[in-house]
Amino acid sequence: MDFYSFLIQLLNGLQYGLLLFLVASGLTLVFGIMGIINLAHGSFYMVGAYLAFSLAALTGNLLTAVLLGVTLSVLLGMLLEWLFYRHLYARDHLYQVLMTYGLILVFEELRSILWGDDVHGVAVPVFLSGSIPLTDNLSYPVYRLAISGICLLLAGGLYWLIRKTRLGMMIRAGAANREMAQALGINIEWLYTVVFALGLTLAAFAGMIAAPVSSVYPNMGGEVIIISFVVVVIGGIGSVWGALLAAILIGMSDTFGKVLLPEYAGMTTYLLMALVLLWRPEGLFRRT
What residue ranges bind other proteins (CB under 8 A)? 1-2, 5, 8-9, 12-13, 15-16, 101, 104-105, 108-109, 117-121, 123, 131, 133, 135, 137-141, 143-144, 213-220, 222-223, 225-227, 254-256, 258-259, 262-263, 265-266
Nearer Cβ to other proteins, position 125 or 141?
141
Least distance in angstroms from the C-beta of 52 to other proteins: 13
Least distance in angstroms from the C-beta of 46 to other proteins: 11
Nearer Cβ to other proteins, position 216 or 276?
216
Handedness of CA 224, 43, 21, 124 (dihedral sign): positive
**Residue 160 CB contacts under 8 Å (≥ 6 apart), including other chains:** 168
Least distance in angstroms from the C-beta of 213 to other proteins: 7
Neighbours of 213 (CB within 10 A): 13
Least distance in angstroms from the C-beta of 47 to other proteins: 15
Nearer Cβ to other proteins, position 37 or 104?
104
Nearer Cβ to other proteins, position 84 or 140?
140
| Side-chain-facing half-sphere of 36: CA atoms under 13 Å | 28
Least distance in angstroms from the C-beta of 276 to other proteins: 17
Tally: H helices and E strands in the chain: 11, 2
Least distance in angstroms from the C-beta of 232 to other proteins: 15
Task: Choose among 259, 236, 190, 91: nearest CA to 181.
Answer: 190
Q: At what angle do helices 142-164 and 3-27 cross, to 10 degrees?
A: 50
Task: Choose among 186, 265, 178, 210: nearest CA to 26.
Answer: 210
Task: Choose among 144, 157, 251, 246: nearest CA to 201.
Answer: 157
Least distance in angstroms from the C-beta of 118 to other proteins: 7
**Residue 184 CB contacts under 8 Å (≥ 6 apart), including other chains:** 173
Nearer Cβ to other proteins, position 13 or 174?
13
Q: Report CA 26 to chain centroid distance, whole Å.
A: 5
Going through 110-241 in order, the beta strands assigned E by DSSP cover 131-133, 139-141
Nearer Cβ to other proteins, position 105 or 184?
105
Nearer Cβ to other proteins, position 70 or 227?
227
